[in-house]
C-alpha cells in the first residue's frame, strides 16, 4: 500500500511519513475543534448534533491540514492536493484561473489510455509557472480525452492526413501560446515542419534504453517482447528530444530496471511504467525551469 502511495503522489519514503502524519494530525485537530465548538451550544448529542459535527469537520479539515502541513514542511503538497479535490467537486475551476504572463504553456500529445498524461497533469497542477493548456489526440474514443475533460483542459482532435501535411494545426498551437510539446504515448511521427517550429521543444519518452529497441514499430509490448527475446539484463526509459527520425533525438534522461528471467512483456511493462510515472513529469519540470533560468540570465 505504501509503495502505491509513493508512486501515486510521486514522493519519497520520509515525505510519505510526513504526509500521513499531516493527515492524521489534521483529522485530530478538526475533530477536536468541531467537538469544542458544538460544546458551546445547547444542542444535545443526537441526530442534529451528529449532522452539525460532520458539517463542521468537513469545513474545518482543509484548514486544519494546511495549518499542520506548514511546520511539517508539506504545505506545497497539500496546497496542490486540496486544489485537486476542490476542482474535482467543482468548487473551483482550473480554467477559471488566469495564467501569468511568464507561464510556460504545454501541449500534451497522446493517443491512448493517458496514464503518463494523468501524471503530467497531476504534477503541473501544483506548479505555478508551468501549465498544461491543451491536449492533442488522434483517437476520438481515447480514454485520455476523458482525463483532459475531467481537468478542464481543452482537447484538439487531429486527422492523420491533415497532420502529416505539415503545419495545418500550427494556428491552434499559436492561439494557445504553446511553448513545449510533450508526447505521452503519442504513436504518430511528428512532421518535420512542426519540429522546425519547435526546435528542442518537443519531448518524448520511450519505453527502452535508446539507441536500442527504437525506430518505426517499436512501441508498447513490441519493445518489451524484443528486450526479453534478446535476453537483456536491463531495460528502462529514455526521455529525449524529438527530431525527424523515430526515437533518434538527443537523450535528456535515462533510468533503468532489471529484466529478470521470469519477466514477461506484461511484467516488464509494469516496471517500465513505474519509471515513466516517477521520472517523466519531474524531468520535464526541471528541464523547463533550467531553460527559464538560463534565458533570464542571458536577458539581464
User: What single-letter DSSP state applies at residue 44?
Assistant: -
Give the closest residue to 254 by CA, choosing from 211, 194, 299.
211
Give the closest residue to 269 by CA, choosing from 234, 220, 231.
220
Quote the cell numbers at residue 41.
451550544
The catalytic residue positions are 206
Say if strands 251-258 and 234-241 run parallel, antiparallel, or are unpaired. Answer: antiparallel
Distance (Å) of CA 279 to CA 116, 119, 153, 236, 286: 10, 10, 22, 11, 11
The single residue listed with the C-alpha cell 499531516 is 22
- Give me the sheet containing 251-258, strands edge to edge: 155-157, 130-137, 104-110, 180-183, 202-206, 234-241, 251-258
Other C-beta atoms within 10 Å of 93: how many?
10
Helix segments in 177-250, DSSP class H: 192-197, 221-229
CA distance 195 to 173: 13
Give the closest residue to 223 by CA, choosing from 259, 274, 184.
259
Amino acid at each position: 500500500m505504501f509503495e502505491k502511495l509513493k508512486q501515486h503522489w510521486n514522493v519519497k519514503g520520509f515525505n510519505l511519513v510526513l504526509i500521513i502524519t499531516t493527515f492524521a494530525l489534521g483529522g485530530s485537530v478538526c475533530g477536536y475543534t468541531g467537538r469544542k465548538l458544538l460544546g458551546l451550544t445547547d444542542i444535545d448529542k443526537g441526530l442534529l448534533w451528529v449532522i452539525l459535527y460532520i458539517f463542521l469537520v468537513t469545513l474545518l479539515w482543509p484548514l486544519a491540514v494546511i495549518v499542520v502541513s506548514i511546520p511539517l514542511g508539506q504545505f506545497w503538497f497539500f496546497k496542490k492536493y486540496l486544489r485537486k479535490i476542490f476542482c474535482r467537486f467543482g468548487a473551483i475551476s482550473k480554467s477559471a484561473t488566469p495564467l501569468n504572463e511568464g507561464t510556460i504553456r504545454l501541449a500534451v500529445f497522446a493517443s491512448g489510455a493517458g496514464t503518463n498524461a494523468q501524471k503530467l497533469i497531476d504534477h503541473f497542477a501544483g506548479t505555478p509557472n508551468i501549465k498544461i493548456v491543451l491536449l492533442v489526440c488522434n483517437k476520438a474514443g481515447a480514454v485520455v480525452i476523458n482525463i483532459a475533460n475531467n481537468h478542464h483542459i481543452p482537447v484538439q482532435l487531429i486527422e492523420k492526413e491533415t497532420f502529416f501535411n505539415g503545419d495545418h494545426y500550427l494556428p491552434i498551437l499559436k492561439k494557445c501560446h504553446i511553448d513545449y510539446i510533450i508526447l505521452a504515448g503519442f504513436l504518430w511521427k511528428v512532421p518535420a515542419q512542426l519540429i522546425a517550429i519547435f526546435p528542442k521543444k518537443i519531448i518524448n519518452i520511450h519505453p527502452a534504453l535508446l539507441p536500442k529497441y527504437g525506430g518505426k514499430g517499436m512501441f508498447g509490448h513490441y519493445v518489451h517482447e524484443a528486450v526479453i527475446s534478446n535476453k537483456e539484463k536491463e531495460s528502462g526509459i529514455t526521455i529525449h528530444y524529438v527530431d525527424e527520425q523515430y526515437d533518434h533525438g538527443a537523450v535528456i534522461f535515462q533510468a533503468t530496471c532489471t529484466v529478470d528471467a521470469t519477466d514477461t512483456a506484461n511484467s516488464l511493462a509494469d516496471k517500465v511504467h513505474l519509471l515513466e510515472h516517477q521520472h517523466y513529469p519531474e524531468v520535464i519540470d526541471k528541464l523547463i525551469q533550467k531553460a527559464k533560468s538560463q534565458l533570464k540570465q542571458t536577458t539581464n
